[in-house]
A = this chain, B = another copy of it.
Amino acid sequence: MADALNNSILKSIKTFKTIQSEVQSINRVALSVDCVIFGFDENKLKVLFIRSDLKKYQSKWSLLGDLVKPEECLDTSAYRILKQRTGLDDVYMEQVHTFGDVHRHPAGRVVTVAYCSLINIQHHKLKILDNELHWHDADSVSELAFDHKEIFDTCFLRLQKRVQEHPLGFSLLPGKFSLRELQNLYEAILSIKLDRRNFRKKFFAMDFLVDLNEIEKNVPHRPGRLYKFDYDKYEKKKKKWSGIDF
């Protein structure tokens, strides 16, 4: 037993030559990136899917993804996909998890790195030109192609956790927003009701909202004040908090 173990250890120690030949010839896999792109519209959390381009899965929606190019970093690849599909680039994006089950994809062994990104649906640069693309309600995503439902679930959970630790939510809102909109956003992401007064208190205490001295327009009731998120202030504060950032 100990010998067998010892043996396998010795076997697993490889020379540079062995490694190089393995890297160059065998043991290669296709690598892709899949993006779970969230948006927020009409007080609902939305997620962008595309009609699957594989016949067998044609009735199903799938995530936006592509194979990673030989001279492309993972993050670069994710930004490329986002840019191609939405026209946006300066957005929040985070690598979430890598999925590599042997038979997860019908076209062969494809390992995929999942990214979560948050975009502002009202952004003037946003262009969803492809009519195969569609915004779905994030709280009622049913079956997706391949293992994309699992990937989506993982990213959604990650978003729910992240948003409680860091002020990411602003990425989903326009530059100017009311506190009601901000609260609606959090309620939508977390599927909970929040106390309005405590919510306001909390965000004011964090002290990275800037009062724009403007008020909402075209609302059928008393308009609220508009704020913007102060990234600089937040960055400064972040340093003071725990160095542990994820």
A51-103 with Cβ < 8 A to chain B: 53-55, 66-74, 81, 84-85, 87, 95, 97-102
| Beta-carbon contact of A29 and B27 below 8 Å | no
Instruction: Say how far A99's CB is from chain B's closest CB, in angstroms.
Output: 8
- Encode contact with B along A4-20: 1 for CB under 8 Å, 0 otherwise: 01101110111110011
Which residues of B lie under 8 Å from residue A15 when comparing CB positions? Answer: 53
Q: Give me 15 other A-B pairs in contact (C-beta within 8 A), A9-B130, A157-B244 excluded.
A: A5-B87, A9-B129, A12-B66, A15-B53, A23-B67, A23-B105, A23-B109, A27-B31, A27-B67, A28-B28, A28-B29, A31-B31, A31-B100, A160-B244, A161-B244
With A22-B30, A23-B30, A28-B28 as given contacts, are A12 and B70 in contact (CB-CB < 8 Å)? no
Chain A interface residue count, Cβ-Cβ cutoff 8 angstroms:
63
Q: List 18 A-B contacts (CB under 8 A).
A: A2-B127, A8-B84, A13-B130, A22-B30, A22-B67, A27-B67, A28-B29, A28-B30, A29-B29, A29-B31, A29-B68, A31-B31, A71-B102, A73-B102, A74-B100, A74-B111, A157-B245, A161-B244
Cα separation A85 to B9 with both chains bound (whole Å): 6
**In this complex, which of A24, A26, A101, A111 has the most chain B Cβ atoms within 10 angstroms of its Cβ?**
A111
Interface set of A (CB-CB < 8 Å, partner B): 2, 5-6, 8-10, 12-16, 19-20, 22-24, 26-31, 53-55, 66-74, 81, 84-85, 87, 95, 97-102, 105, 107-111, 113, 127, 129-130, 132, 157-158, 160-161, 244-246
Which residues of B lie under 8 Å from residue A13 when comparing CB positions? Answer: 53, 130, 132
Instruction: Say how far A171's CB is from chain B's closest CB, in angstroms.
Output: 19
Number of copies of this protein chain within its complex:
2
The 8 A-B residue pairs with the shortest CB-CB distance, nearest first, are: A74-B100, A28-B28, A23-B30, A23-B108, A98-B98, A27-B67, A20-B107, A23-B107
**In this complex, which of A6, A29, A102, A111 has the most chain B Cβ atoms within 10 angstroms of its Cβ?**
A29
